[in-house]
Amino acid sequence: MLPALFAATLFAGSAALFLVQPLVGKLLLPIGGGSPNIWNTCMVFFQLVLLAGYLYAHRATGSLGVRRQAAAHLLLLATVAVALYAAVAATGSPIPVLPRLLPEDQDNPVLGLVALLAVAVGVPYFVLSTTSPILQRWFAATGHPSARDPYFLSAAGNAGCLLGLLGYPLVLERHLTLAQQQWVFAGAVAAYLGLVVVCAFVVMRNAECGTRNGKTEEPAADGGPGSALRTPHSALRTPRVARWVFLSAMPSSLLLGVTTHVSTTLNPIPLLWAVPLALYLVSFILVFARWPDRLHQAVGRVTPVLLLFTALSLLLDLSEPFGLVLALHLGAFTGVCLVCHGELAKDRPPPEHLTAFYFWLSVGGVLGGAFNALAAPVVFGRLGMVEYPLALVLAAAVRPRGDVDKEPPLRAADVLLVLGLLAVTVGLVLLVPRYVVAPGVSDADEPWEVKALRGGLMFGLPAAAVAALVRRPARFALSLGALFVAGAFDAGRHGETLHTERNFYGVLRVARSPDGKFVRLLHGKSVDGMQRADEAGPPQPMTYYYKRGPVGHLFENLADRAAPKDLWVRPVPVTRVGVVGLGIGSVAHYAEPGQHWTFFELDPAVVRAAQNPAWFRFLSTCKAEYEVVLGDARRQLARRPDAGFDLIILDGFCSGSRPVHLLTREALEVYVRKLAPNGVLAVNVTNRHLDLPPLVARAAAAFDPPLSVRYRHDQPTDALRAEGKDESEWMILARDDAALGPVAWDPYWDPVRVTAGPVWRDDFADTLGAWRKDGH
């Protein structure tokens, strides 16, 4: 009965712990502009609070003993109830989110975000974070036959974590509003508190290391390395603790690295971020559930091969076939987690050091996460996303202890061998692209056979040599690092890099195309703007803003509009234009003298790139007066006077994904309120994975009276693609057909049929339900 009680409590606490993480992330994304680093910063905050919870568990049980600590813990539980009551009384919500704490015009608003998180969920999350070490330590003191090895309870905790993590996007997010989700979390916390109270009373009554001579003895305190953590039991040695920290830091760093890569750089599919974290948790469940040593050794032999192929995919910049490339990255990540966590499970200490063990594992988790989310953007600001390859290299040196013990240490000859490999690979990278090319063909149209041959010669041959060194962990890791260093000399498919800048919102690159014809602004693999390199005079818009496309057609017809409700009076001019998403400022090509344009841009690095005429000249040649407003566009627009714009263009990207909060019913109300009576809203609804036009159409139909809506799916010919035009989908909205003018009856634009389905709102947006059904 006791194991079931403690397992159920651990399961409930862990489920609530991981339920609140995506919930808080979703609450914060709208005020953070939809940046993927919002989630990474949340992860680091949660790891820091987890560390604080583990430190409390370790110190409290060590200094008070289990029975007195259980009594004191009841007071801590009471603070959670008080905090939740205070939050509801002050804001009407169990999770108070205060947007004023988050600055809007900084490259790295991390401190403000951490303060916001602390206010929103700091107290309940801290108490939830103490669950695993506290309950396992309590159970170890009950005298139950299973108490000698309480680590089996961690399987219940990890199962709860997995349920909370996956249950949120698959169940709660799809069926409940954000307000309802917060009350589900509050209810889960209340149920958890009740279970912990029961466990505490059980421990206070039954805690024992034995009952001798009629006297109940208090369990001995925990300990750790150094005099401050020393106990009467065998002390933990520093090398052992350092190994725990490293083995826990490695998967933590790799978790954020692979999450960022697969969900932004590789392919921005909604909810893909949850898959690596789920695999991370599954690895803990497996290795702490009597993980067979033979299987552990097998995973240790397969993982280096997966790491090599993953490195090769990064060097070749592969994203297709997507399923295979994704499986490769996730497979290598899972292998590293199983090896590292498996080594930790095999080296777990006896129960008297349980809280110290969890504390040092948490230290490693914080160090790994903080390196990616906090240190890497500063240290590697001009180099790009270096931490992911670096983590792969370090992971290549980790093997099951039995394998490592059989291999000799690194020798001078090994270092010379790696340096030779580096020199050969750099030579191939510099020479092969000069000779293996398709003459007279643009980089976009280059045959795949040529690309495969070039990549095989540059990196395939050196990778084969690295594979031969896989048996020696240190030498193999250095060889893998040599491949990445050589890869830095490769211009890649995006051509020569002119500028790289990294901040909270991601890695931004300005690059010249391999054929030298274009200069591009890149966020991950997303091309956020492109300009001809040799163009004289004002540059011509490309990609989504091509003159023979929906935007060009819209501007051509706007001047012919008449005043609303009266088609026989003089045309109504467009004088005030708002643009959500600056990019390189391509749409400024359509600006005319006498107009005032306002660009709303979240990322300061994008503004710096767009305003540099050495790369892009749309803003420097803009005929109209313009201003750039930094910060989340929706929040900034809400502060502008009503009826202040004749035209608003909505094109707010985030590495190919689209911030949900810009397309909700409430967001649409803000845009319409800011439009003049005859104003027009143009929305770029291009997305590979989400079917956005029906969502926008339903939101427009919910107005009273419904908005007038037109749609255009523009599919360029191969010739136009070669000139820089991209496939795009646009919708234009206005209060009535008269405001649309000639566009309303032009066959170029299609009327929109409203289909049945949900409307995205600020408190409810089912992204899975918006998934494209046509296989795109």
Query: 371 is written with which tokens?
Result: 């390196």
- In the block, tokens 């040649």 appear at 621
Q: Please answer whether residues 519 and 616 qualify as being in contact, where contact means their C-beta atoms are separated by less than 8 angstroms.
A: yes
- The mean per-residue pLDDT over the stretch 224-228 comes to 35
- Among the residue ranges 37-51, 156-170, 248-262, 279-293, the one predicted with the least confidence is 37-51
Look at residues 647, 649, 675, 681 and name the one whose alpha carbon lies nearest to residue 575: 647
Residue 227 has pLDDT above 50, yes or no: no
Give pLDDT, residue 527: 82
Q: Please answer whether residues 390 and 368 qualify as being in contact, where contact means their C-beta atoms are separated by less than 8 angstroms.
A: no
- The mean per-residue pLDDT over the stretch 474-487 comes to 93
Residue 514 has pLDDT above 50, yes or no: yes
State how far the Cα of 358 lies from the Cα of 130, in Å rounded to an integer. 10
Give pLDDT, residue 268: 57
Pairing of strands 496-503, 506-512: antiparallel
Residue 157 has pLDDT above 90, yes or no: no
Residue-wise pLDDT for 197-207, tens only, equals 999 998 888 76
DSSP string, 51-86: HHHHHHHHHHHHHHHHHHHHHHHHHHHHHHHHHHHH
| Half-sphere exposure in the Cβ direction for 554 (13 Å, CA) | 31
What is the signed CA dihedral for 333, 338, 344, 346, rounded to 10 degrees?
-160
Peptide bond into 268 cis (omega under 30): no
State how far the Cα of 277 lies from the Cα of 659, in Å rounded to an integer. 21
Look at residues 197, 276, 280, 207 and name the one whose alpha carbon lies nearest to residue 13: 197
Residue 19 has pLDDT above 80, yes or no: yes
State how far the Cα of 697 lies from the Cα of 709, in Å rounded to an integer. 7
- The mean per-residue pLDDT over the stretch 141-166 comes to 83
Residue 267 has pLDDT above 70, yes or no: no
Asked whether the whole model's pTM tops 0.85, one would answer: no
The three state secondary structure string of 171-209 is HHHHHCCHHHHHHHHHHHHHHHHHHHHHHHHHHHHHCCC
Give pLDDT, residue 490: 82
Residue 714 forms beta bridges with which residues? 728
Q: Please answer whether residues 66 and 138 qualify as being in contact, where contact means their C-beta atoms are separated by less than 8 angstroms.
A: yes
| Position 408 confidence tier, pLDDT thresholds 50, 70, 90 | low
Residue-wise pLDDT for 269-324, tens only, equals 656 777 898 899 889 888 887 788 899 999 999 999 999 999 999 988 887 777 88
* Buried residues in 124-160 as b, exposed as e (16+ CB within 10 A): bbbbbbbbbbbbbbbbbbbeeeebeebbebbbbbbbb
| Position 214 confidence tier, pLDDT thresholds 50, 70, 90 | very low
Look at residues 319, 254, 320, 246 and name the one whose alpha carbon lies nearest to residue 283: 254
State how far the Cα of 31 lies from the Cα of 98, in Å rounded to an integer. 10
Choose from 120-129, 158-167, 209-218 the range with maximum mean pLDDT: 120-129
Secondary structure class of 42 (helix, strand, coil): helix
- The mean per-residue pLDDT over the stretch 226-246 comes to 69
Residue 751 forms beta bridges with which residues? 710
| Position 439 confidence tier, pLDDT thresholds 50, 70, 90 | low
Alpha helices in 440-494 (DSSP H): 448-455, 461-467, 473-487
Q: Please answer whether residues 140 and 354 qualify as being in contact, where contact means their C-beta atoms are separated by less than 8 angstroms.
A: yes
Q: What are the phi and psi torsion angles at 186 (to 5°)?
A: -60, -40
Of 653 and 759, the structure prediction assigns the larger pLDDT to 759
Residue 72 has pLDDT above 50, yes or no: yes
State how far the Cα of 628 lies from the Cα of 601, in Å rounded to an integer. 7
415: Cβ contacts below 8 Å, ≥ 6 apart: 478
| Position 223 confidence tier, pLDDT thresholds 50, 70, 90 | very low
Choose from 155-164, 182-191, 203-212, 494-503 the range with maximum mean pLDDT: 182-191
- The mean per-residue pLDDT over the stretch 546-566 comes to 75
Query: 138 is written with which tokens?
Result: 């309590």
Q: Please answer whether residues 498 and 27 qualify as being in contact, where contact means their C-beta atoms are separated by less than 8 angstroms.
A: no
Residue 79 has pLDDT above 50, yes or no: yes
Residue 77 has pLDDT above 80, yes or no: yes
Query: 763 is written with which tokens?
Result: 């408190």
The three state secondary structure string of 643-694 is CCEEEEEECCCECCECCHHHCCHHHHHHHHHHEEEEEEEEEECCCCCECHHH
In the chain, what percentage of residues exceed pLDDT 70?
Answer: 86
Residue-wise pLDDT for 318-373, tens only, equals 877 778 889 999 999 999 999 999 999 999 888 888 888 989 999 999 999 889 88
- The mean per-residue pLDDT over the stretch 238-258 comes to 93
Give pLDDT, residue 426: 92
Give pLDDT, residue 494: 59
Residue 623 has pLDDT above 80, yes or no: yes
Give pLDDT, residue 105: 57
Residue 537 has pLDDT above 90, yes or no: no
| Position 734 confidence tier, pLDDT thresholds 50, 70, 90 | very high
Give pLDDT, residue 289: 76
State how far the Cα of 387 lies from the Cα of 715, in Å rounded to an integer. 38
Secondary structure class of 27 (helix, strand, coil): helix
| Position 421 confidence tier, pLDDT thresholds 50, 70, 90 | very high
Total residues belonging to the chain: 776
- In the block, tokens 């993590």 appear at 165
